[in-house]
Structure 1
Amino acid sequence: MAASRDIDALIDMMARLPGLGPRSARRAVLQMIRKKELLLMPLADLMHHVAASVRECSNCGNIGSEPLCDICQSNKRATGEICIVEDVADLWAMERAGVFQGRYHVLGGTLSALDAVGPEELRIPRLIDRVGEEHITEVILALNATVDGQTTAHYIADQLDGRVKLTSLAQGVPIGGELDYLDDGTITAALRARKEI
């Protein structure tokens, strides 16, 4: 049956999302089908709209619907501080904590020799340019406390050594921890207790 194949395909697609396995995806799809008018159709419309309008900020790598994200457009955020994060989920985690009022730079990952990810595959060259263009006085390295995250932090610190004040998140971020999974209080404590590199 064609309808059954479509439903199975939807379940398979949903199961690819982080945090959803086949069973959770099946439950979610069944719930959406049961409440087609309330859930499924509005979700389909929103997904179509987002797919057509979402874009990456040309300055920092955040996502939004304009060429520059709201943070990069805000004059209030031009504090001279820039917070470096691995991905957009980390930026959103920092924003959720509400403690940082500067601008961000999303690298798009971390350096990894095993995966052949070098500085050019990330937004590191753009970061170096931004430090001069935006008169940045402090770079906060808010990278995940993983081996690749720390390797990336050291590389960036070497590239910017002597040009700006370099700090990193301090207490509260466990080794191997990822920002997106931390609570707001932990992120706030880590940002406030950052240390110079």
Structure 2
Amino acid sequence: MINRTAIAIFLSLSLIQPAFALKLGFLKNSIINELSEADMTSLKTTVNNSLDDLGDRKVLKWTNESKTVEGHLKVLFSYNMGKVTCKRARLYLKSQGKKEPWQMNLCKTEQRWQIMETPLTLLSDSDFKELQLTLASLLDSAPLGEAVFWRAEESSVGGTLAVIKDKKIDEQQCRTALISLKADDNKMLNGQYDFCRKAGADKWSRRATQEN
């Protein structure tokens, strides 16, 4: 039997895409289905009370009262969508040897954190990889201020990327990238992000933001 009450609260917490609500059968054997209403309320409260102060790559830990389910919410990176603060995050739920990952974009509106569709949400896996490759190429060789237009092949998202600053941070070569993405429905994402690599290394890594 599907625990519809727990799933409804999980959806209200916005930790999964709204479209999943149409496929509740998919959640029949999920760890979510094991959670009580009290468990879900506890998880929701913990996330909303803690996410403001959770920096990039930091992990929030949660355990239900009966100690049968634990969750780790990791912030992958923070960004702004217009004037709204958002965090790309991954939640891992663990129970009796099972582990389930859930990925989401959480944005703060009306003083609480909730899911919001952003241009990142709309990208397919292959489009996201292509965006990463385009950005890596830009960071490797683009002169300051030169903008590159990018358009997703499978998703209705396009935008511009540009390197706007070079600097040294902790003996690493770093470049600040300006990323502006827009979906066909006018959802926008704009932000400046630092990417760094050690001398002689090939791979760029996003520099984590500091905790508030």
Q: TM class, shorter-chain normalised?
A: under 0.3
Bigger strand share: 2
Bigger helix share: 1
TM-score (norm 1): 0.28
TM-score (norm 2): 0.26
